[in-house]
Amino acid sequence: MTTKPRAVVLLSGGLDSTTILALAIQSGFEPYAVSFRYGQRHEIELTAAARIAAAAGVAKHILVDVDMRQLGGSALTSDIAVPKSKTVDDIGTEIPVTYVPARNTVFLAYSLAWAETLGAGDIFIGVNAVDYSGYPDCRPEYIEAFERMANLATKAAVEGTQPIKIHTPLIHLTKAQIIKTGLSLGVDYSMTTSCYDPAKDGTSCGHCDACLLRRKGFMDNGLVDPAA
Amino acid sequence: MTTKPRAVVLLSGGLDSTTILALAIQSGFEPYAVSFRYGQRHEIELTAAARIAAAAGVAKHILVDVDMRQLGGSALTSDIAVPKSKTVDDIGTEIPVTYVPARNTVFLAYSLAWAETLGAGDIFIGVNAVDYSGYPDCRPEYIEAFERMANLATKAAVEGTQPIKIHTPLIHLTKAQIIKTGLSLGVDYSMTTSCYDPAKDGTSCGHCDACLLRRKGFMDNGLVDPAA
């Protein structure tokens, strides 16, 4: 029996990161999942992440506290209202107020630290440049620059024992394609949550960008969102 | 009266970062200092950072919790012994066990997030490639790669309103030159602490790499370390 290489998987409890976890497993990695309590308005996604990690049988799941709330500047970590629309066509084309300053850089930096201590060189993140083209830190050129920096940052990379690869298999997929991929791998999307502004009982709002894009993704597959 | 541009300054409470803070002020910036409670063995340096920030009259000083202890892998965050030597000549040339995996990447990522919410484009970090050439994330090529990534990461940088500049004015200086610079700016080094392994009352051990390099830096200026 050969030992599987380890990979760090950023797991938010949402649709994209849950698909990424399934893809990492399919690719032959032993997954180590990391979730962040960064000051988001609700912790429903963290509960979902823990459930998903357990169901997927990850080697380890850690929850990391990184307080980004004291920085402000985003609807996801402060009292700025989450924008709501009727359909995906109403979603603006500018960078939305749900953008959290440098969030993926902070998350990837921490994941890089964990990867090095695990002896892992592979990091999976569910960024997507199609539906969320408004977020600068979801674009291929950003990911490439992060990877390049990472390979100059760690002892393991610099000594040549463990080069760093940032895996973004969803980056060029539509939400419908992501869902199709996940379903083919047996992902149970009823366990995931994507809403930016859920009710206290976890019910999705149905009208934030994340809810609308997700619903359309299932509709395009002839399905109803099982978590809606 | 013109408004000074804001700059984020990474302040550990040590000799290098305290010099950096003085340099940022001298360069005409309004300093915003950030310190990290990342799981280091002692909090003496955080007390020093608060004292130094207050004495320098920074616009704001924040203390950020980022738990890196659960990752392990370093003498600074775990039970691995801090190496001790008799003189600087005994310090090894390999990357030391006091290296904390991806620490500067995590710290710079968070500082980048804060800079964006502050409307700042300038970040000062006291890395040094001469005395600590063993740390990969203190080298110029690493800093350049981080800066390049940062300019692709944030909304402000991508929209062109606030490009990011990582300032490392100490990177090519010896410890003696750093101390000389700081003294010319009126830095009170008795407020700083550099020891990796201080006693509970804050007394420096005198024999870790940081203590030895620092002592030699003062000696080369014909001085005695005021914090020894």
CATH fold, domain B6-220, is Rossmann fold (3.40.50)
Question: What average pLDDT does the structure give for chain B?
Answer: 89
Kindly determine whether residue B113 and residue A106, on different chains, have CB atoms separated by under 8 Å. yes
In Å, the largest CA–CA distance within chain B is 53
Confidence of residue B73 (pLDDT cuts 50, 70, 90): low
Specify the 3-state DSSP secondary structure of A136.
Answer: helix
Q: What is the ipTM of this complex?
A: 0.89
Strand A122-124 relative to strand A60-65, pairing: unpaired
For chain A, the average pLDDT equals 89
Nearest CA to A53 out of A23, A24, A33 is that of A33
Is the Cβ–Cβ distance between A47 and A54 less than 8 Å? no
Query: What pLDDT shows up at residue A42?
Result: 76
Q: Where are the domains of chain A?
A: 6-81+92-194
Rg, Å, chain A Cα set: 17
Exposed, middle or buried by CB within 10 Å (0-12, 13-18, 19+), for B94? exposed
Q: Give B66's DSSP letter.
A: B
A97 falls in which pLDDT band (50, 70, 90)?
confident
* Residues A55, B29: Cα–Cα separation, whole Å: 51
Q: Which CATH superfamily is domain A6-81+92-194 in?
A: HUPs (3.40.50.620)
Range with lowest mean pLDDT among A6-15, A78-87, B165-174? A78-87
Across the interface, whether the CB atoms of B152 and A141 are under 8 A apart is answered: yes
Which of residues B219 and B92 earns the better pLDDT score? B219
Contacts of A164 in chain B (CB under 8 A): none
Summarised one tens digit per residue, pLDDT across range B12-42 is: 999 999 999 999 999 999 999 999 998 877 7
Q: What pLDDT band is residue B206 in, cutting at 50, 70 and 90?
A: confident
Residues B103-124: tens digit of each pLDDT: 999 999 999 999 999 999 999 9
Quick one: closest CA in A to B137, which residue? A153
| Phi, psi values for residue B178, rounded to 5° | -60, -45
Residue in chain A nearest B110 by alpha carbon: A106
Q: What is the per-residue pLDDT across A123-137, written as a single tens digit (0 to 9) for each? A: 999 998 876 557 899
> Residue B93: what pLDDT?
64
Phi/psi of residue A165, nearest 5 degrees = -125, 125
**Residue A181: pLDDT above 80?**
yes
Query: Cβ separation of A99 and B148 shorter than 8 Å?
Result: no
Per-residue pLDDT of A137-156, as tens digits, reads 999 999 999 999 999 999 88
Q: Give the contacts of A178 (CB within 8 A, at least 6 positions apart).
A: A15, A16, A19, A128, A170, A217
